[in-house]
Amino acid sequence: MAQDTEPEESLFEAPPMAEQERMVEAILFASADPVRVAELNARMPHGCDAAAALAHLARRYEGRGVNLVRVGEAWSFRTAPDLGFLMQKETVEIRKLSRAAIETLAIIAYHQPVTRAEIEEIRGVSLSRGTIDQLLELEWIRFGRRRMTPGRPVTYVVTEGFLDHFGLESARDLPGLKELRAAGLLDSRPMPGAEEDETDASTQGDMFEDES
Amino acid sequence: MAQDTEPEESLFEAPPMAEQERMVEAILFASADPVRVAELNARMPHGCDAAAALAHLARRYEGRGVNLVRVGEAWSFRTAPDLGFLMQKETVEIRKLSRAAIETLAIIAYHQPVTRAEIEEIRGVSLSRGTIDQLLELEWIRFGRRRMTPGRPVTYVVTEGFLDHFGLESARDLPGLKELRAAGLLDSRPMPGAEEDETDASTQGDMFEDES
Amino acid sequence: MDEDAAFDQADDPVAARRAAEALIVDVDGYEGPLDMLLSLARGQKVDLRRISVLHLAEQYLAFIASAKALRIELAADYLVMAAWLAFLKSRLLLPPDPSEAGPSGEDLAAHLAFQLERLEAMRGAAARLMARDQKGRDFFVRGLTEDVTRIRRVSYTATLLDLMQAYARIRTKDEFRPYALDRESVYTMEEALERMRGMIGYAGDWVDLSSWLPEGWQLDPARRRAATAAHFAASLELVKQGALEIRQGDTFAPIHIRKRVP
């Protein structure tokens, strides 16, 4: 009896970790875009543990010419940043962003979720329509939840594409985020004498999604 | 040779081989097409030996999920051949057998071995080639012996796979006409358990078209 | 900074004018009044937290005044900011009026300082962000990608019941043939209704219903019967809807219809 069941068990046994590592390696090499852990698990044979395989793989590629990087919930291979000089750049042209667009992007990244009015408040100038459009088109920002304040304004948050472009694991890894927060510079402070609503609004937003 | 290059090497100091390997790795990773050794050398710092770096790199990727392969004069990373299955996503769609196919199958099951001409005579319509092919492909029918009549036509019989699928011990276990009638199968009313739509569909089919 | 020079050399009208003009030209380079204030504040060369908001307000107002003197049109938001700063300045200079409600000059000044500091911080954050390694510039994605090929395999199935029903259907074709209308000679009321609705507008005077039968349905008796019945039923329906009037002079006499004029 035991002999009968043994071969069956081995049928359903997950492949050895070294094999799983090869599989993750192959799948990630085949894709230019980051692949989510869930998708890896779905594509690998039953019983595989993509997360564990990724951990092994990341170690293997440490210091190599290509590195395994995390982008939000997804993973991808990228060439090591110090070797950028070897690459031919004419194929990928980085669009020159306006100063307004860059600042707006930074404000969205650090203050997300943030409304248009808040962006304008921080910059002290109204936002031209093209700025948001451009960032949406680049797929660096997307709409977040509507703010639960009168008018239910839309909010903006950054995307995984943004994280991917700037080599960030998550929005928490934005440079200087902690210092800015500690200095109170990410607070939304209303103008003294202004209505209280605004404070409520930003506090609420913070509660809804601190991180996206 | 070695002596000639030595002074040059010391002048420009080529990066260590491990570094050259990283460079080749990054370039090949990011390139859309296989890269020639000459091009690698041209893109790498002066004094580099792409061929040697490639040899190291090929060894490193031996047995991995992606392999370094030579394509003519050029080199490229490719998915390990045994992992090709990961690049496919298979979905199985289950469809009902067409009316023509099920009728043909029924005739073969009840009358086997049966020739094409006989099937056509019983159904009263000519048999499209696709119908028999489909049943052969499903491995529900196979060729029987040729009939010892002029033209020696091939005959069709049902397979073990057919019996298996329909839960029959043998084709002889299929109920006869009398039994079918007794079971209410000759009634035009929908069978208990049979879907109403289906019955409707087939009835309508009878009215409008003889063969699908 | 140019702005500083503009105010330091106020005694030299030509130099002042030039400097002011240079500043005006620069207005295009500012992203609004807050940006300009930040730029002026940097000129104070102190930590933004210890900036003299009063001095800043004076600098800004002096700039606006010189721009006005040069008859240069300024965007409305620059003027709004000037008005607000003038108000802030008066609040900061005058002793607080206890009868007056609202925030104190210090509160307003502190908020302006906060806004400037926050804008500055965001500028820095943006710069640090853009200085990061960027995809397509510093690091690169896989060049030779492989698409996941989606294979759709179709599998067919049938039940024993299907099989037996199919066989029964074939073997008992004559007796089993389900009841079906001989559609060749059937004209439904729905069809007639549809047809009559389209024609009704033209039936101003009494017409014989039989003349309304469609072509091909007037000669063959079976077809004529079917079409007549359908059109009669449809007529009744239209009468009920108030679109038509119908009459028959005598038993078996021709049936006449006409459009009902409301």
Q: What is the pLDDT of residue A207?
A: 34
Within a domain: A163: yes
Q: What is the pLDDT of residue B27?
A: 93
Query: What is chain A's length?
Result: 212
- Region of residue A199 (phi > 0: left; psi between -120 and 50: alpha; otherwise: beta): alpha
B79 contacts A26? CB cut-off 8 A: yes
Q: Which of B22, B24, B86 is facing A27, going by the closest CB pair? A: B86
Start-end of CATH 1.10.10.580 domains in chain C: 189-259
Chain A hits for B83, CB-CB cut-off 8 Å, are 22-23, 26
Average pLDDT over residues A158-172: 91
At C96, list the tokens. Answer: 């607080």
At B152, list the tokens. Answer: 């020696």
- At residue B70, the 3 state secondary structure works out as strand
Q: What is the pLDDT of residue A168?
A: 92
Q: What is the pLDDT of residue B162?
A: 85
At C177, list the tokens. Answer: 């043939």
Within this chain, do residues A128 and A67 fall inside the same structural domain, yes or no?
Answer: no
Within this chain, do residues A108 and A171 fall inside the same structural domain, yes or no?
Answer: yes
Query: What is chain B's length?
Result: 212
Q: What is the pLDDT of residue A6?
A: 41
Write the CB contacts of B180 (distance below 8 Å, at least 6 apart in sequence).
B186, C164, C167, C168
Within this chain, do residues B118 and B165 fall inside the same structural domain, yes or no?
Answer: yes
Interface of A with B (CB under 8 A): 21-27, 29-30, 43-44, 63-66, 77, 79-80, 83, 86-88
At C211, list the tokens. Answer: 């003349």
Within this chain, do residues A77 and A117 fall inside the same structural domain, yes or no?
Answer: no
Q: What is the pLDDT of residue C25?
A: 52
CA distance A70 to A24: 13
Other C-beta atoms within 10 Å of C92: how many? 16
Q: What is the pLDDT of residue B129?
A: 83
CATH 1.25.40.10 fits C189-259, yes or no: no
Q: Which of A112-126, C72-86, C157-171 has the highest mean pLDDT?
A: A112-126
Within this chain, do residues A66 and A127 fall inside the same structural domain, yes or no?
Answer: no
CA distance C32 to chain B (A): 42
Domain count, chain A: 2
Average pLDDT over residues B176-193: 55
Residue keyed to tokens 């039994």: B179
Q: What is the pLDDT of residue B198?
A: 34
Within a domain: A118: yes
Residue keyed to tokens 């650090």: A110
Nearest to C81 by CA among B92, A125, B43: A125
Look at C237 and C101; give whichever has higher pLDDT. C237
At B61, list the tokens. Answer: 């990727």
Look at A51 and B189; give whichever has higher pLDDT. A51
Write the CB contacts of B65 (distance below 8 Å, at least 6 apart in sequence).
A21, A22, A23, A24, A25, A26, A27, A29, B79, B80, B83
Interface test with B, best of A59, A60, A64, A78 (most B CBs within 10 A): A64
Q: Can you give the three-state secondary structure of chain A, one letter per residue?
A: CHHHHHHHHHHHCCCCHHHHHHHHHHHHHCCCCCEEHHHHHHHCCCCCCHHHHHHHHHHHCCCCCEEEEEECCEEEEEECHHHHHHCCCCCCCCCCCCHHHHHHHHHHHHHCCEEHHHHHHHHCCCCCHHHHHHHHHCCCEEECCCCCCCCCCCEEEECHHHHHHCCCCCHHHCCCHHHHHHCCCCCCCCCCCCCCHHHHHHHHHHHHCCCC
Chain B hits for A32, CB-CB cut-off 8 Å, are none
Per the prediction, chain B carries an average pLDDT of: 78
Q: Which residue of A has its CA nearest to C101?
A: A193
Q: What is the pLDDT of residue C8?
A: 47
Interface test with A, best of C142, C148, C150 (most A CBs within 10 A): C142
What subunits touch chain C, counting only 3 or more CB pairs under 8 A? Answer: A, B
Chain C hits for B26, CB-CB cut-off 8 Å, are 140
* CATH number of the domain encompassing residue A169: 1.10.10.10
C-alpha to C-alpha distances, A61 to A21, A48, A54, nearest whole angstrom: 12, 20, 10
Eight-class DSSP state of B172: G
Q: Which of B92, B123, B203 is facing C155, going by the closest CB pair? A: B92
Q: Per-residue pLDDT tens for A172-201? A: 999 999 999 998 899 888 777 765 444 444
Sheet containing C244-248: give its strands across: C207-208, C255-259, C244-248
Q: What is the pLDDT of residue A132?
A: 87
End-to-end CA distance of chain A: 53
Nearest to A25 by CA among A48, A70, A49, A58: A58
Q: How confident is the model at residue B85 (pLDDT cuts 50, 70, 90)?
A: confident
Within this chain, do residues B36 and B77 fall inside the same structural domain, yes or no?
Answer: yes
Chain C hits for B96, CB-CB cut-off 8 Å, are 156-158, 162
Write the CB contacts of C153 (distance below 8 Å, at least 6 apart in sequence).
B90, B91, B92, B93
Q: Per-residue pLDDT tens for C119-144? A: 999 999 999 998 888 888 888 888 88
Interface of B with A (CB under 8 A): 21-27, 29-30, 43-44, 63-66, 77, 79-80, 83, 86-87, 89
Within a domain: B210: no
Q: How confident is the model at residue B201 (pLDDT cuts 50, 70, 90)?
A: very low
Within this chain, do residues A79 and A116 fall inside the same structural domain, yes or no?
Answer: no
Do strands B88-96 and B114-115 pair parallel, antiparallel, or not at all (unpaired)?
Answer: unpaired
Residue A80: pLDDT above 90? yes
Span of A44-58, A87-101, B186-200, C74-88 with lowest mean pLDDT: B186-200
Other C-beta atoms within 10 Å of A11: how many? 7
Residue C87: pLDDT above 80? yes
A125 contacts C145? CB cut-off 8 A: no
Within this chain, do residues B76 and B114 fall inside the same structural domain, yes or no?
Answer: no
Q: Per-residue pLDDT tens for A81-90? A: 999 888 865 4
Q: Which of B25, B30, B86 is facing A23, going by the closest CB pair? A: B86
CA distance A122 to C120: 10
CA distance C97 to C77: 29
Q: What is the pLDDT of residue C226?
A: 86
Question: Is-contact C27 C87, C-beta < 8 A?
Answer: no
B87 contacts C146? CB cut-off 8 A: yes
Residue B8: pLDDT above 50? no
CA distance A25 to A30: 9
CA distance C166 to A138: 58
Is the link from the previous residue into B113 a cis peptide, with omega within 30 of 0?
A: yes
Other C-beta atoms within 10 Å of B91: how many? 9
Q: What is the pLDDT of residue B178?
A: 67
Cα angle value A19/A23/A24 (rounded, 5°): 120
Residue B25: pLDDT above 60? yes
Strand partners, C259: C244
CA distance C169 to chain B (A): 7
Chain C hits for B190, CB-CB cut-off 8 Å, are none
Within a domain: A136: yes
Counting beta carbons within 10 angstroms of the beta carbon of residue A164, is it exposed (0 to 12), middle (13 to 18) or buried (19 or more)? buried
Q: Which of C114, C135, C142 is facing A189, going by the closest CB pair? A: C114
Within a domain: A133: yes
At C127, list the tokens. Answer: 């710069």
Q: Which of A120-129, B4-13, C159-168 has the highest mean pLDDT?
A: A120-129
What subunits touch chain B, counting only 3 or more CB pairs under 8 A? Answer: A, C
Q: Which of A23, A27, A66 is facing B29, going by the closest CB pair? A: A66
Chain B hits for C141, CB-CB cut-off 8 Å, are 30
Look at C246 and C144; give whichever has higher pLDDT. C246
Average pLDDT over residues C84-106: 81
At C240, list the tokens. Answer: 């009920």
Per the prediction, chain A carries an average pLDDT of: 82
Chain B hits for C171, CB-CB cut-off 8 Å, are 122, 177
A77 contacts B27? CB cut-off 8 A: no
Residue A211: pLDDT above 60? no
B88 contacts C148? CB cut-off 8 A: yes
Q: Which of A26, A65, A86 is facing B65, going by the closest CB pair? A: A26
Within this chain, do residues A28 and A71 fall inside the same structural domain, yes or no?
Answer: yes
Average pLDDT over residues B122-146: 88
Q: Per-residue pLDDT tens for C198-210? A: 777 766 778 888 8
Within a domain: B212: no
Nearest to C123 by CA among C34, C55, C50: C34
Within a domain: A94: no
Residue C166: pLDDT above 50? yes
C117 contacts A165? CB cut-off 8 A: no
Look at C96 and B147; give whichever has higher pLDDT. B147
Q: State which amino acid sits at residue C52.
A: S
Within this chain, do residues B160 and B105 fall inside the same structural domain, yes or no?
Answer: yes
CA distance B1 to chain C (A): 36
C102 contacts A78? CB cut-off 8 A: no
Q: What is the pLDDT of residue B210?
A: 35
Span of A181-190, B62-71, C11-20 with lowest mean pLDDT: C11-20
Residue A51: pLDDT above 70? yes
Residue C152: pLDDT above 80? no
Per the prediction, chain C carries an average pLDDT of: 78
Q: Which residue of A has its CA nearest to C104?
A: A192
Q: Per-residue pLDDT tens for A1-29? A: 344 444 444 456 789 999 999 999 999 99
**What's the domain range around A105?**
99-183
Q: State which amino acid sits at residue A156.
A: Y
Q: Which of B26, B63, B89 is facing A65, going by the closest CB pair? A: B26
- At residue C125, the 3 state secondary structure works out as helix
Other C-beta atoms within 10 Å of A65: how many? 25
Q: How confident is the model at residue A37 (pLDDT cuts 50, 70, 90)?
A: very high
CA atoms in the 13 A half-sphere facing the CB of B151: 6
Residue keyed to tokens 């080639």: B129
Within this chain, do residues B103 and B178 fall inside the same structural domain, yes or no?
Answer: yes
Q: What would you measure as the largest C-alpha separation in chain B, in angstroms?
A: 102
Q: What is the pLDDT of residue B189?
A: 40
* C212-218, long-range: CB < 8 A, 24+ apart: C212/C257, C214/C187, C217/C187
C140: contact with B, CB 8 A cutoff: yes
Q: Which of A76, A100, A192 is facing C31, going by the closest CB pair? A: A100
A99 contacts C117? CB cut-off 8 A: no
Within a domain: A76: yes
Query: What is chain C's length?
Result: 262
CA distance C250 to C261: 24
CA distance C184 to C188: 11
Q: Which of B77, B96, B167 is facing C160, going by the closest CB pair? A: B167
